[in-house]
Structure 1
Amino acid sequence: MSAQMEKGSRLRQEDSPPRIVEHPSDLIVSKGEPATLNCKAEGRPTPTVEWYKDGERVETDKDDPRSHRMLLPSGSLFFLRIVHGRRSKPDEGAYVCVARNYLGEAVSRNASLEVACVRRGPLELPDQRDPKLGCRKQREACERSSLHY
Structure 2
Amino acid sequence: MVSLNPRLSVTHNGHNTWKLHISHVQLNDSGSYMCQVNTDPMKSLSGYLDVVVPPDILNHPEQNLEEGISNEGGTIVLICSATGVPEPTVQWRREGGKDIILRTETERSKCGVMVKSVEGEKLILTNVHRTDMGGYLCIASNGVPPSVSKRFDVHINCKYKQQKLQAKSNATTDFCDYGQPMKVQTQ
TM-score, length-scaled by structure 2: 0.48
Q: Which residue of 1 aligns with 2:129?
A: 83
Q: For residue 112 of structure 1, report the CA deviation from its aligned partner.
A: 1.2
Q: For residue 68 of structure 1, report the CA deviation from its aligned partner.
A: 7.9
Identity of aligned residues (%): 21
- Whether the 8 Å contact between 1:20 and 1:40 is mirrored in structure 2 is yes
1:15 to 2:15 alignment: no
| Cα root mean square deviation, aligned | 3.5
- Whether the 8 Å contact between 1:21 and 1:40 is mirrored in structure 2 is yes
Q: For residue 47 of structure 1, report the CA deviation from its aligned partner.
A: 0.9
Aligned ranges 1:51-90 → 2 under 5 Å = 51-56=92-97, 59=100, 67=113, 71=118, 73=120, 75-84=121-130, 90=131
Task: Tell me the amino acid that sits aligned with residue 136 of structure 2.
Answer: Y
How far apart in 2 are the matches of 1:58 and 1:47? 23
How far apart in 1 are the matches of 2:90 and 2:54? 13
- Whether the 8 Å contact between 1:28 and 1:116 is mirrored in structure 2 is yes
Task: Give every structure 1 segment of 4 or more consecutive aligned residues whose post-TM-superposition deviation is greater than 2 Å.
Answer: 1-7, 11-14, 57-61, 66-73, 118-122
TM-score, length-scaled by structure 1: 0.59
Q: For residue 77 of structure 1, report the CA deviation from its aligned partner.
A: 0.9
List per-residue Cα deviations over 1:112-142 (Å, max 9, x = no partner).
11110133438xxxxxxxxxxxxxxx97147
Which of 74, 77, 89 is equivalent to 1:48?
A: 89
Please list every run of 5 or more consecutive structure 2 residues that lacks an aligned counterpart in the other structure. Answer: 1-26, 34-47, 103-111, 164-174, 180-187
How far apart in 2 are the matches of 1:60 and 1:49? 18
Q: Which residue of 2 aligns with 1:2?
A: 28
Q: For residue 36 of structure 1, report the CA deviation from its aligned partner.
A: 0.8
- Whether the 8 Å contact between 2:31 and 2:50 is mirrored in structure 1 is no
1:106 to 2:106 alignment: no
Call closer, same or farther: CA 1:43–1:57 in 2, change over 3 Å: farther
How far apart in 1 are the matches of 2:53 and 2:98? 25
How far apart in 2 are the matches of 1:29 and 1:12? 48
Which of 159, 166, 169 is equivalent to 1:118?
A: 159
Q: How many residues of Structure 1 are paired with residues of Structure 2 in the alignment?
A: 114
Call closer, same or farther: CA 1:71–1:51 in 2, change over 3 Å: closer
Greater relative contact order (CA < 8 Å, ≥ 6 in sequence): 1
Q: Which residue of 1 aligns with 2:177?
A: 140
Q: Which residue of 2 aligns with 1:27?
A: 68
Task: Tell me the amino acid that sits aligned with residue 177 of structure 2.
Answer: E
Task: Tell me the amino acid that sits aligned with residue 158 of structure 2.
Answer: C
Please list every run of 5 or more consecutive structure 1 residues that lacks an aligned counterpart in the other structure. Answer: 85-89, 123-137, 143-149
Call closer, same or farther: CA 1:98–1:80 in 2, change over 3 Å: same
